[in-house]
Amino acid sequence: MANQQSSGGRPNVVVILCDQLRSFALGCYGNQEVQTPNIDRLAQGGFRFEQAVSNTPVCVPARSNLLSGQYSRTCVGARQNEMSTLPADGVFGRNNRDKFKDQTLAEAFKAAGYKTVQIGKWHVDTRPSKLGFDESLVTGNQIFTKGNFSKNEERAYPVPGFTTDHEISQAREFFHSSKNSNQPFFLYYNIIAPHMPILDVPYKYSHMYNPETVSLRDNVWKNDVLARNEIWFNIYMWQTTYNPKNRPVTAKIPPEFTLKNLAALYNGSVTWVDDTVGEIVASLKENGLEEDTLVVFVSDHGDMLGSHHLWNKERLYEEAIRVPMIYSWPGRIKPGTSTRQVASLVDVMPSLLDLCGAEIPPSVQGQSLKPVLTGQTERLDRDYAIIETPFRALGIRTPTHLYGVLVNRDDTAIEDDRYVFYNLKEDPYQLHNLAKTGQERAVAEDLKEKLIRWDRETKRLTGVEYTAWYPQDSNPYAE
């Protein structure tokens, strides 16, 4: 344990963030089909939050939630994937701080004496160096092959094969070079999978699961009709929206292709994520860093994957907002599972800083989960999470219920304060909206009051032009 002792007892920190992984796809969250032994092992030796939530189930704002400890309206303004155009120097992200006005997670660790490093997908509209990272290796691709990487914000260079292989090799080199260092490190490693394209994966994973035996969520049928959308099937498999030139010329959805085929491909990509996590954890162990390293495994958001006949993320449904969240630090975090405390992305920053003995900036809007992680209590006073979506819905998720209101198109007032209300213990698939039924009135009123107060008191980012919401002409939650 030389590294921890030489750094004054401060652990190294590795945050592994994957893209579009819903918690329901993992063994440790109850899935009995998808092979995820490495993540399951991490959960068994660490602490798992059963009710973990993305505060904004969209890539860019969700990652911004984690890096800032703030809600999207405060740190970046928008609740959708706003990205600046690629500048002339070929480096992604704004070269300024018109967003992220306050201290970030990387800056807080840097102030505490940590070396800060980013590897993998970035997808934040401000460059890593502007948010406190000493080093960065950003992949600019939305696909997993034909990769381009920008190292320390220099012009991108191509890498043959799968981008994940290059990222793992760079992480291994970093761990090897850090094993005898007196300086602790914070590594922010981003895995693109299981985000689409789910066919652009190694053959082993695309052929791993049998569509005929794959299980589906109970809410993928509507009037006994299984969810199907050929446009979305194409996007999931080939990411045609972003990379039409990479779509195979022979690609065509066959009539016999169903959601079961798509789910089997998604499950294969999930197992690829698991093997990648296994590589990272194994490399920590090989370099003698495992005992001295606090590891957090989490996802930015989930995936609808046909539930309620909807696709992608962005919705106030469990499939989109529920994410895995596991904290592991041998000997310091007691293995266990929390079912009474809802955790969310804005809580990651204060929790990590608190566990490492670093100062939590007053600008942070999340809360430290350390008392739960260390066994001091089963739940905090704030045992809920706030969710912002780009379809104008604001939600509050407790261990048992989800309540939502609808904001007007001008983002100035609540348009419908009884938009959705679900008892998730009795209705886990959100098939019965209780918002206007009068059922469980006391619970509903309490959650509505909390959500309205949050909306009133949580400041919005100023000085940046943005479009807060996607247009919405109909209520996707209507019965």
Distance in angstroms (rounded) separating the CA atoms of residues 217 and 128 = 38
Name 117's bridge partners: 135, 187
Map residue 396 onto helix, strand or coil.
Answer: strand
Question: How many percent of the chain have pLDDT more than 90?
Answer: 75
Residue range 286-334, pLDDT digits in tens: 999 999 999 999 999 999 999 999 999 999 999 999 999 999 999 999 8
Q: Is the pLDDT of residue 73 over 80?
A: yes
Q: According to the model, what pLDDT value does residue 239 have?
A: 76
Question: How many percent of the chain have pLDDT more than 70?
Answer: 90
Strand duo 145-151 + 325-328: pairing: unpaired
Q: According to the model, what pLDDT value does residue 469 have?
A: 59
The type of residue at 15 is: V
Q: Is the pLDDT of residue 7 over 70?
A: no
Total residue count of the chain as it appears in this document: 479
Distance in angstroms (rounded) separating the CA atoms of residues 430 and 402 = 9
259, 228 contact by CB (below 8 A): yes
Residue range 192-214, pLDDT digits in tens: 999 999 998 999 999 999 999 99
Distance in angstroms (rounded) separating the CA atoms of residues 188 and 172 = 14
Distance in angstroms (rounded) separating the CA atoms of residues 25 and 301 = 12
Tell me which DSSP letter residue 23 carries.
G
Tell me which DSSP letter residue 162 carries.
E
Q: Which two tokens stand for residue 435?
A: 């918002």
Preceding peptide of 194 cis, ω within 30°: yes
Residue range 235-263, pLDDT digits in tens: 898 876 655 666 665 567 888 999 999 99
Distance in angstroms (rounded) separating the CA atoms of residues 279 and 169 = 10
Q: According to the model, what pLDDT value does residue 245 have?
A: 64
Euclidean distance between the first and final Cα of the chain, in Å? 57
Q: What is the mean pLDDT of the chain?
A: 90
In terms of C-beta density within 10 A (0-12 exposed, 13-18 middle, 19 or more buried), how is residue 101 classed? middle
Q: According to the model, what pLDDT value does residue 5 have?
A: 39
Buried b (16+ CB within 10 A) or exposed e, 306-317: bbbbbbbbbbbb
